[in-house]
Amino acid sequence: MNEYTLQRRDCLGLLGCLLLPGLARADALSALNAFIRDVRSGRADFTQTVTSPDGQKKKVSSGRFEFQRPNRFRFAYLKPYPQTLVGDGQKVWIHDPDLNQVTVRPWSQALGSTPAALLAGQSLEREFELKPLPSAAGIDWVQATPRQTGGTIVAMKAGFRGTSWVALEIADSFGQRSLIEFGAMQSDVGFGAEAFRFVPPPGAEVNEG
């Protein structure tokens, strides 16, 4: 399986596919809830590092994440291969430019208990079991375990530094771990009406399912 195919699987998996111990751990959970409740839109660059089950192989991708509540987001991989996920509130679009291929899924089927659902602000208590974890390397962590079992995602951890969401770690059913590290997030960004609208490029193969 080549690097491009692996990144494509990681992209789909993302859908399938965002202090001190003790008191600070409770603060991390509060920070997650406050982020979902109060931050209505935002933008951040990200770096994603995927580690193989044996811990020996790592591959790195980078791009930009944008969102606007309710239920709109754009997750664009820029390097090493461009790929884009767009949620417009009704559908989720996955675009592979190199294949000139677009996959379209209904919002309710595509999101569920996934990282995109967590970042896009779905009902956390309904979709996830939340549990504060010990701090590590200056980051406070909250574990988000999908209540619905059998999916690609086994568990996720949201990492905060103070009130800033700085990392998202994903463990999948393939035994891989993906760490998404966010740069400084711009909050309350004024996106235009077309920011989360996706139109398939001319000649693209469009698959709905």
> What is d(CA 102, CA 204) in angstroms, rounded to the nearest whole number?
7
- Please tell me the predicted confidence (pLDDT) of residue 2: 55
pLDDT in tens, 31-47: 888 888 888 888 999 99
More confident residue, 2 or 75: 75
pLDDT at 203: 92
Tokens representing 166 are: 């700085």
Q: Where are the domains of the chain?
A: 3-18+20-184
- Mean local confidence (pLDDT), 101-120: 73
* Residue 89 pLDDT level (bands cut at 50, 70, 90): confident
Other beta carbons less than 10 A from residue 58's beta carbon: 11
Find all residues with CB under 8 Å of 123, minimum gap 6, and list them. none
CATH classification for the domain delimited by 3-18+20-184, as one of 1.10.101.10, 3.40.50.510, 2.50.20.10, 3.40.630.30: 2.50.20.10
Full-model pTM: 0.79
Q: Please tell me the predicted confidence (pLDDT) of residue 127.
A: 77
Mean pLDDT over 96-120 rounds to 77
Angle in degrees, CA 118, 120, 123, rounded to 5: 60
Q: What share of the chain is helix, strand, coil (3-state, %, to 5)?
A: 20, 45, 35
- Structure confidence by residue, pLDDT tens digits, 145-199: 888 777 788 888 999 998 899 999 999 889 999 999 999 989 888 998 889 999 9
Q: Which residues pair with 95 in a beta bridge?
A: 84, 102
Asked if the model's pLDDT at residue 116 lies above 80, the reply is no
